[in-house]
Structure 1
């Protein structure tokens, strides 16, 4: 019975992640459904609340694009794509894997701005 409840909750969580990932305005957590066996629950992330609190108006701050030589394309945004559209699970050349890309982008900004969560359990709440 416990195993059935566990799998039911897992499937429900994945379905909820897929549904909420389709609209960033309604986003409440980062979709981790592309990982085979996530070690932690999805990171809580309320897209609009975050951007308002952080004073972010430029989507390209987070939704970045790079050219073939690895230079960030200023004024270009990938907001119509998911992170997994560009990032593989593992590193590919100089392009970080998906988990590393999430952490570099989110934690990197939080550390640079000295604001926001940086500890695992602050984002990945059980």
Structure 2
């Protein structure tokens, strides 16, 4: 996490410098460097460098301290990483459509509290 914190700190410093210069039109090299840092932050957090994931740390509140903004960004990135990794690749209805021509067997596994965990197994 220390590396991500240092990347975010560098990102915020360069963003403020670019804002002081007048935006991306004034210094395209600095803007390209900021974009590469954005990609590296997403890569280090095991997230795709999409617009949605970049927005997790792009917008920060100037009224709060830089450390608070960095911690908020790290928290948002961790939540997004958890959602990204635990998101099912296919919904249950898509799974059923895919296996419509195959026979499916419903398996019930008893749990400790007396309930059952059910899942479908293609036969």
- If the length of structure 1 is used for normalisation, what is the TM-score? 0.28
**Larger % of strand: which?**
2
Radius of gyration: which is bigger? 2
**Larger % of helix: which?**
2
